[in-house]
């Protein structure tokens, strides 16, 4: 069973005029209308504008022009990506009623490529969570087992793609929020190098860690989307001016060196471990050299991540005060009371927890012990990673220590939930490109994901390495397709 690109398949159907973009959009619409209630993938839809955009796309197709691969193909955006005139709420009550007056650069680029936006996908409130259960609307469910979570924070994006309620979708990844739900839902999730995709218009959680990227059925799909969204944006000072090297998935990976950090393997369950070791065998059969290594600074990654992310979040989220847009408390005595009540009522528990943590680690007397120390450790981790990439082309780890857990499985200790991010946060801390792709299933049939990371700005090579495995391994987990046409 070979793995083939969904986007390429649809593109060929559209180009051959076997289906129109409008018909395709209608088909997605009815699938969403039928199944979204069960899956909770979308929190808002924009079918009317989608159908208009599809009709426009069809006009160009009718002219027989050579068109981008994404032309006329329906897709979804995470609810934290700004779109003019379309509600963008970060799945938080505090942004209820907020409609952006400008487009994120990423959305501008996709629109120029003919993308048709079906709607906004579910997420953990302000991307803070690993299960999309902190969404102020409803949780997103896993198409492989709707009693289980889709992961998070881009759970709605993953669920929509895994069930084919969107051809592909865009998520954001601050500590694993693209890769972890992709792993849970048995699809590909790619977080590009920090600075490769403009953050302009992405509602910030933690600015130095946030990066948008694709959730897609296959590596080739992820590569097509990546090529459309990557590149310098003068509106984002942290976006890189380095030219984007074109993605070339062809050719073998003989002689390539892959590092397998034992710290990440030891903590995972037996089934996940077995799937990873099978993937290692596949790589070896392709001529790659896989070696176990040690990454001692890995143990710092999680605390460093939570300190820095919460610190930045406390500042990024301070602007939601009810004065200019979004939710505003109805009853209050004065300005301070209004801001206080608005934030208390508007933010969920997890967001409040992280804001408090962030304010704490930045406050006078604690800054050196927490924020500054975390910044220093961030440099140590980056140096350690650089050392590894002097000898290796990629690092292979599990994406998540477990497969999708059941809804409502809320550990009493939030730190336990935070542990699910342990394999993914390193890529954000070091700004590396990271990709999760399916590598098997557990005994319940739930997808297991593996993660590959590469040196900064080696996104194209990382995609090629992932693609080589995917093609060799074939279909490793069940495909679900709710689209009918």
Partner 1 sequence: MKYELVVGLETHAELSTKSKIFCGCTTQFGGEPNTHCCPVCIGLPGALPKLNEKVVDYAIMAGLATNCTISPLSRMDRKNYVYPDLPKAYQISQYDLPLCRDGHIKLSTGNTIRINRIHIEEDAGKLVHERGTTYVDYNRGGVPLIEIVSEPDFRSADEAREYMEKLALILKYIGVSDCKMQEGSLRCDVNISVRKPGGPFGTRTEIKNMNSLAFMVKAIEYEYERQVDILESGGKIIQETRRWNEEDKCTESMRSKEDAHDYRYFPEPDLVNIVITPEHLERLKNTIPELPDSRVERYTQQWDLPPADAALIARYKPIAEFFEAAVQGIQKPRTVSNFIVGQIFGLFATEEERAEAHIPIPPQYLSELVKLLEGGKINSNQAKDTLKKMLDTGKPHTEFLSEADLAGLDTHALEAMARQAIEQNPKISADVRSGNDKAINALIGSVMKQAKGKANPKEAEAILRKLLSE
**Interactions with partner 1, residue window 336-355 (CB under 8 A):** 339
To partner 1, the closest distance from the beta carbon of 390 in angstroms equals 25
Q: Would you give the DSSP letter of residue 126?
A: G
* Annotated catalytic residue, options 46, 78, 82, 191: 78
If we measure between CA atoms, which residue out of 143, 181, 139 comes closest to residue 162? 143
To partner 1, the closest distance from the beta carbon of 363 in angstroms equals 5
Q: By C-beta, is 138 or 325 nearer to partner 1? A: 325
Q: Which residues contact 440 (CB under 8 A, 6 or more apart)?
A: 271, 274, 275, 278, 279, 447, 448, 476, 477
341 is catalytic: no
Cα(415)–Cα(352) distance, rounded to whole angstroms? 15
* Annotated catalytic residue, options 135, 177, 183, 239: 177
26 is catalytic: no
Q: By C-beta, is 142 or 240 nearer to partner 1? A: 240
Asked if 232 is part of the footprint of partner 1 (rule: CB under 8 A), the reply reads no
479 is catalytic: no
* Annotated catalytic residue, options 153, 157, 172, 239: 153
Q: By C-beta, is 137 or 200 nearer to partner 1? A: 200
Contact 145, 446 (CB under 8 A): yes
Contact 29, 484 (CB under 8 A): no
To partner 1, the closest distance from the beta carbon of 446 in angstroms equals 34
Q: Which residues contact 77 (CB under 8 A, 6 or more apart)?
A: 83, 107, 117, 119, 120, 121, 169, 170
Asked if 409 is part of the footprint of partner 1 (rule: CB under 8 A), the reply reads no
Asked if 463 is part of the footprint of partner 1 (rule: CB under 8 A), the reply reads no
DSSP of 241-306, one letter per residue? Answer: -SPPPPP---S--TT-EEEEEHHHHHTS-HHHHHHHHHHHHHHHHTT-EEEEE--TTHHHHHHHHH
Residues in the chain: 485
To partner 1, the closest distance from the beta carbon of 235 in angstroms equals 6
From the list 3, 39, 170, 203, which residue makes contact with partner 1 (rule: CB under 8 A)?
203
**For partner 1, which stretch binds (CB under 8 A), given 27-35, 359-367, 398-406, 452-460?**
359-367
**Interactions with partner 1, residue window 56-115 (CB under 8 A):** 80-82, 88, 90, 95, 98, 100-102, 104
To partner 1, the closest distance from the beta carbon of 187 in angstroms equals 26
The footprint of partner 1 on this chain (CB under 8 A) covers a number of residues equal to 43
Contact 171, 158 (CB under 8 A): yes
Asked if 362 is part of the footprint of partner 1 (rule: CB under 8 A), the reply reads yes
Q: By C-beta, is 38 or 318 nearer to partner 1? A: 318
To partner 1, the closest distance from the beta carbon of 365 in angstroms equals 9
Cα(119)–Cα(200) distance, rounded to whole angstroms? 19
Asked if 364 is part of the footprint of partner 1 (rule: CB under 8 A), the reply reads yes
From the list 56, 96, 238, 402, which residue makes contact with partner 1 (rule: CB under 8 A)?
238
Through-space distance between the first and last CA atoms of the chain, rounded to whole angstroms:
23
**Interactions with partner 1, residue window 121-150 (CB under 8 A):** none
- Strand, helix or coil at 169? strand
From the list 186, 201, 261, 434, which residue makes contact with partner 1 (rule: CB under 8 A)?
201
Query: 158: which 2 tokens?
Result: 């993953």
Contact 450, 264 (CB under 8 A): no
From the list 96, 207, 345, 352, which residue makes contact with partner 1 (rule: CB under 8 A)?
207
Q: Which residues contact 329 (CB under 8 A, 6 or more apart)?
A: 322, 338, 341, 342, 344, 345, 346
**Interactions with partner 1, residue window 172-191 (CB under 8 A):** none
Contact 298, 423 (CB under 8 A): no
To partner 1, the closest distance from the beta carbon of 310 in angstroms equals 12
Query: 259: which 2 tokens?
Result: 């590092």
To partner 1, the closest distance from the beta carbon of 341 in angstroms equals 14
Please report the sign of the dihedral spanned by the C-alpha atoms of residue 145, residue 151, residue 157, residue 158. Answer: negative
**Interactions with partner 1, residue window 292-331 (CB under 8 A):** 311-312, 314-315, 318-319, 321, 323-325
If we measure between CA atoms, which residue out of 111, 139, 109 comes closest to residue 406? 139
Give Dmax (Cα) for the chain: 70
Q: Which residues bind partner 1 (CB under 8 A)?
A: 80-82, 88, 90, 95, 98, 100-102, 104, 199-204, 206-208, 234-238, 311-312, 314-315, 318-319, 321, 323-325, 335, 339, 359, 362-364, 367, 371
Point out the residues that are catalytic: 78, 153, 177
């Amino acid at each position: 069973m070979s793995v083939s690109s969904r986007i390429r398949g649809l593109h060929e159907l559209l180009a051959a005029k076997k289906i129109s973009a409008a018909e395709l959009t209608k088909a997605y619409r009815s699938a969403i209308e039928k199944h979204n209630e069960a899956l909770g993938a979308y929190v808002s839809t924009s079918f009317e504008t989608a159908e208009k955009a599809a009709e426009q796309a069809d006009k160009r197709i009718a002219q027989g022009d050579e068109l981008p691969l994404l032309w006329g193909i329906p897709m979804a955006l995470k609810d934290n990506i700004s779109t003019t005139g379309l509600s963008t709420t970060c799945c938080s009550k505090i942004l209820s009623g907020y409609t952006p007056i400008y487009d994120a650069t990423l959305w501008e680029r996709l629109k120029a490529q003919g993308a048709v936006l079906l709607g906004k996908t579910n997420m953990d409130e302000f991307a803070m969570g690993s299960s999309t259960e902190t969404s102020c609307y409803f949780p997103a469910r896993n198409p492989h087992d709707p009693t289980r979570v889709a992961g998070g924070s881009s759970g709605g994006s993953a669920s929509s793609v895994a069930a084919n309620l969107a051809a592909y979708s865009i998520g954001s990844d601050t500590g694993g929020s693209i890769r972890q739900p992709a792993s849970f839902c048995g699809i590909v999730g790619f977080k590009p190098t920090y600075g490769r995709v403009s953050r302009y218009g992405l509602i910030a959680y933690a600015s130095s860690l946030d990066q948008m990227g694709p959730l897609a059925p296959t590596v080739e799909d992820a590569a097509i989307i990546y090529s459309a969204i990557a590149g310098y944006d003068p509106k984002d000072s942290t976006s890189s001016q380095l030219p984007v090297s074109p993605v070339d998935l062809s050719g073998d990976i003989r002689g390539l060196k892959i590092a397998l950090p034992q710290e990440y393997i030891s903590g995972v369950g037996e089934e996940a471990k077995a799937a990873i070791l099978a993937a290692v065998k596949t790589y070896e059969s392709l001529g790659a050299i896989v070696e176990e290594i040690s990454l001692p600074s890995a143990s710092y990654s999680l605390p460093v991540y939570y300190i820095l992310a919460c610190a930045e979040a406390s500042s990024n989220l301070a602007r939601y005060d009810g004065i200019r847009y979004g939710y505003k408390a109805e009853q209050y005595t004065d300005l301070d009371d209004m801001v206080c009540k608005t934030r208390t009522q508007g933010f969920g528990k997890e967001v409040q927890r992280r804001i408090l943590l962030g304010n704490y680690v930045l406050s006078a007397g604690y800054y050196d012990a927490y924020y500054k120390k975390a910044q220093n450790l961030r440099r140590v981790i980056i140096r350690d990673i650089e050392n590894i990439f002097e000898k290796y082309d990629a690092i292979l780890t599990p994406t998540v220590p477990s497969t999708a857990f059941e809804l409502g499985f809320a550990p009493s200790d939030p730190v336990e939930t935070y542990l699910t991010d342990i394999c993914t946060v390193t890529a954000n801390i070091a700004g590396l490109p990271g990709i999760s792709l399916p590598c098997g299933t557990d005994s319940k049939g739930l997808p297991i994901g593996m993660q590959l990371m590469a040196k900064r700005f080696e996104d194209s090579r990382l995609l090629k390495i992932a693609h080589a495995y995917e093609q060799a391994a074939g279909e490793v987990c069940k495909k679900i397709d709710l689209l009918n046409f």
